[in-house]
Structure 1
Amino acid sequence: MDLDVFVSAHRAEWDRLEALLRRQRRLSGTEVDELVSLYQRTATHLSLIRSSAPDPQLTGRLSRLVARARNAVTGTRRASWRDVTTFLVYGFPAAVYRSRHWWVPTALISTVVAALVGWWIGTHPDVQSAIAAPSQLRELTRPGGEYETYYSSHPAAAFAAQVWTNNARAAAMCLVLGVFLGLPVIWILLENVFNLGVGIGLMASAGRLDTFLGLVLPHGLLELTAVFVAAGTGLRLGWTVIDPGPRSRRTALAEEGRAAVGMAIGLALVLLVSGAIEGFVTPSGLPTWARIGIGVVAELAFLSYVFVLGGRAAREGETGDVEADARSARVPTAA
């Protein structure tokens, strides 16, 4: 595309749009129609220039012009409780559902790896001695030892808040750092998996695996699922950098990145629930079967939420991205 010819052909339209936006008086019906038409055409011009002949100065001018025109046409949009409801009922579960082909395999592989690490440590005393001295291992695994007192060492509310903060940060890091080809996500995931495997192995070697699972499962089912969702989504974002599909790389990253940010908010709420279970249910005096039952109910509720509500919303076209009128304009362009 010859940029000079393009500018010469459309400068009058841009100037006219700018003049309409500067009007202090109320626009007539004809002028409003003209404003909307010029806004749509200028947005298309901006998209063409960005894809075919990017010029920083011209792109900056048209971007500001399109933003002002959009605000004039749509008005300033205020967030409302309806937006929150729409996000929780449609946007978030649909985004999690759409990522299922990434986070479900991530969860299965991670669980297998944790079990193998636990088996390796539990059946090899030399590996256990490399982790810590025998006296330290006994202190960790004995009845009333550190693995058990960890969950009741602080007031429940403070402990739940600390757990929630740490887990929400880890999930957000998986989602945000996924753009670096997913490599930081793999590191965070392996760290969590190996920590779980070490606990399984050491408690199994002491003959107290049932106690360990009774402490971990009530909150761990939902907590680990949230971490796996974050990790799988982060890996998907990293793969988008490599293979954006039919979309341009910029558009693909923008769409998937916005959905990932929304998922960070949704997963923070999920982890708030798991943190409350870890702070109040795990160290409680309830029987083990009751504590695990609460964890199983929370996990099944989340999975139903994702695969029923999220599946329905995804089939209706929901992606977890922002609404269409808030996205950048896209038009087909010739190569």
Structure 2
Amino acid sequence: MDIDAFTAVHAAEWDRLKELSSRRRLDGAESDELVRLYQSVATHLSTVRSAAPDPALVTRLSDVLNRARTRIAGTHEPAWREVVRFAMVSLPAAFYRIRWWSHAVTAACLLVAIVAGIHVAGDTDAMNSLMPPAAQEEYVNEAFASYYEPGIGFAAVVGTNNAWIAAQAVGGGITGIFPLIVLWQNAVQIGAYGGMMAAHGELELFLTLIAPHGLLELTCIFVAGAAGLRIFWTLIDPGPRKRSVAMAAEGRALITTAIGLAAALSVSALVEGFVTGSEMYWWLKIVIGAIVLAGFWAYVYVLGRRAVRAGATGDLAEHEAGATVVTAG
């Protein structure tokens, strides 16, 4: 198809649609004309995309159509159905698509934590490098347990801090290094302090205070790291898409992931603020933590699998993300 000839034939319709879309008031005939031109230009855009995907023309027509769509439908506040769609389709799809990355990162971090814990528990010098012996006694006997002070204030501080860490891991994924640093530091720190508690005979206390909230909290950090590494891998291997297109799509989907992780970390923060430091039986605390974690993965696998099979990716809808050039392959 000759783009110049196509433009010459239809440019007047495009300009007219743009003009009508910009007017503050339309009479009945002009409103009918606006709708007719919108349908016609939408057909033109489809033709251009399939026959001769010129980026400049695709962008021009998309802009004209977006203005006309807003003029026809009117601006609106976000509807509840959009919020529901995000929670029930977009978000679980984004989590589901990186599930294997998340499981691999979780396994690697647990291995690092166990190795670090064994090393610290069996090496006095390594343990003393964490803190002096006197400080160790105070930490093991008082500070560790007293840290988990029940209350909404504590939950809010913890939730905000963890959400910030997760957002950094996702946002810094393009470097390929930052998520690894975040994951390494968290795994080594958890393992090392667990090893120190074990060396002082308080491994059970450590596990019963970490497990209730930590099951979901650490999972979210691992998923955040996995999301960051996924965007870096897309930079290396974009697949059949152009690298810029693939990076844009994956980046938008991982922003969805970051929002979801902030919500999940809020749940773990509530558990940490109201369950971990409470007077509940230790086994009940762990059961609550396990139920919360199971609920997260059920959400990912049940809703996420269904959403992905329906074609969802966690990315924005086409009209929200903007037009892309058709590529072969």
Task: Give me the whole-angstrom Cα distance separating, in 1, the residues matched to 2:59 and 2:81.
Answer: 34
Tell me the residue number matched to 1:161.
156
Gaps of 5+ in 2: none
The answer to whether the 8 A contact 1:90-1:309 is kept is yes
The answer to whether the 8 A contact 1:181-1:242 is kept is no
Tell me the residue number matched to 1:95.
94
Deviation per CA, 1:64-118: give whole Å up to 9, x if none.
5343234235543431222222222222112111111211101111111111111
Tell me the residue number matched to 2:27.
25
The answer to whether the 8 A contact 1:44-1:329 is kept is no
Task: Give me the whole-angstrom Cα distance separating, in 1, the residues matched to 2:144 and 2:34.
Answer: 71
Tell me the residue number matched to 2:277.
283
The residue type paired with residue 148 of structure 2 is: Y
Tell me the residue number matched to 2:256.
262
Match of 2:310 among 298, 310, 316: 316
Q: Secondary structure at the match of 2:148?
A: helix
Aligned length: 324
Q: Secondary structure at the match of 1:317?
A: coil
The answer to whether the 8 A contact 2:216-2:293 is kept is yes
Gaps of 5+ in 1: none
The residue type paired with residue 112 of structure 2 is: V
The residue type paired with residue 18 of structure 2 is: E
Task: Give me the whole-angstrom Cα distance separating, in 1, the residues matched to 2:126 and 2:193.
Answer: 13
Q: TM-score, normalised by structure 2?
A: 0.88
Q: TM-score, normalised by structure 1?
A: 0.86
The residue type paired with residue 167 of structure 2 is: A
Tell me the residue number matched to 2:148.
151
Q: Does 1:234 align with 2:228?
A: yes
Task: Give me the whole-angstrom Cα distance separating, in 2, the residues matched to 1:21 and 1:241.
Answer: 39
The answer to whether the 8 A contact 1:91-1:320 is kept is yes
Task: Give me the whole-angstrom Cα distance separating, in 2, the residues matched to 1:117 and 1:151.
Answer: 24
**CA shift in 2, pair 1:309/1:4, >3 Å:** closer
**CA shift in 2, pair 1:157/1:133, >3 Å:** same
The residue type paired with residue 84 of structure 1 is: V
Q: Does 1:214 align with 2:214?
A: no
The answer to whether the 8 A contact 1:181-1:241 is kept is no
The residue type paired with residue 39 of structure 2 is: V
- RMSD of Structure 2 on Structure 1 (CA): 2.7
Tell me the residue number matched to 2:105.
106
**CA shift in 2, pair 1:334/1:103, >3 Å:** closer
Task: Give me the whole-angstrom Cα distance separating, in 2, the residues matched to 1:331 and 1:59.
Answer: 8
Task: Give me the whole-angstrom Cα distance separating, in 2, the residues matched to 1:170 and 1:62.
Answer: 41
**CA shift in 2, pair 1:62/1:87, >3 Å:** closer
Q: Does 1:175 align with 2:209?
A: no
Tell me the residue number matched to 2:114.
115
How far off is 1:161 after superposition? 0.6
**CA shift in 2, pair 1:147/1:61, >3 Å:** same
Task: Give me the whole-angstrom Cα distance separating, in 2, the residues matched to 1:321 and 1:191.
Answer: 30
**CA shift in 2, pair 1:130/1:333, >3 Å:** closer
